[in-house]
A and B are shown apart, each in its own frame.
Chain A
Amino acid sequence: QSVLTQPPSASGTPGQRVTISCSGSSSNIGSNDVYWYQQLPGTAPKLLIYRNNQRPSGVPDRFSGSKSGTSASLAISGLRSEDEADYYCAAWDDSLSVNWVFGGGTKLTVL
């Protein structure tokens, strides 16, 4: 069971806006930055969002991140078929030793 909780699945139609949630606690999201990764089928994860809401160069502005308290969200607007992938949130956790934790992942289906 993952330290960060994500819904196992999400879906939307082309052009829609979808959001994926990530719930944590005071020892991870509550006190550290959140990161989001996209994993297309059969490929390595790709960084989508860093420091809660920052996009690396090359990531479309259709992707946005936010954080509030011990939860975070990834929003994808103008949904495209190529957005169909697994999405993972991640953060440092200070509860034991310093520990990087991932969410369980959300499979996004574009209908």
Chain B
Amino acid sequence: QITLKESGPTLVKPTQTLTLTCTFSGFSLSASGVGVGWIRQPPGKALEWLALIYWDDDIRYSPSLNSRLTITKDTSKDQVVFTMTNMDPVDTATYYCAHSRRLHGGVGPTSYYFDDWGQGTLVTVSS
């Protein structure tokens, strides 16, 4: 059974850097065809994809936020760490981490999709 859980601050000040940790179980991020991504959802709004790190260390970021994002993995701890710099009140959202798997027979970064999600953590940006 795959489980993921997000942890980190619930409140950050404008201009600060947000650091979130996704701790998972039920899979290994060193196994072929696996990834972990981050998706956020502002209150009452739609989902927005942020980043994805693959088992082979390939990384993809949202083009609109690329300059502010960093994602890393620690396979020994079964964790993925996500950072977003220069936080602004518009970044207030629930942040989810999600397991990503490669389609059967799929090739390349676009053959992955998100199946299992964490419960999410609400991050508020306010002074």
Contacts and interface: CB of A to CB of B under 8 A. Distances in A.
Nearest to A50: B113
Nearest to A51: B103
A82 to B, nearest CB: 19
Given A44-B120, A50-B115, A32 B48 contact: no
B49 A35 contact: no
B33 interface: no
Interface in B49-87: 49, 52, 60-63
B24 interface: no
Interface string A72-93: 0000000000000000101010
Contacts of B120: 44
Given A33-B103, A51-B103, A92-B110, A97 B49 contact: no
A98 B47 contact: no
Nearest to B120: A44
A102 B110 contact: no
Interface in A1-46: 2, 32-33, 35, 37, 39, 43-46
B46 interface: yes
A108 interface: no
B109 interface: yes
Contact of A99 (B46, B47, B63, B115): B63
30 contacts: A33-B103, A35-B114, A37-B47, A44-B117, A44-B119, A44-B120, A45-B39, A45-B47, A45-B96, A46-B117, A47-B113, A47-B114, A47-B115, A51-B113, A88-B47, A90-B47, A90-B113, A92-B110, A96-B63, A97-B61, A97-B63, A98-B109, A99-B49, A99-B60, A99-B62, A99-B63, A100-B49, A100-B114, A102-B39, A102-B48
Task: Across the A-B interface, give the 9 residue pairs with the lowest CB-CB distance, nearest first.
Answer: A92-B110, A100-B49, A44-B117, A102-B47, A96-B63, A105-B46, A104-B46, A47-B115, A98-B109
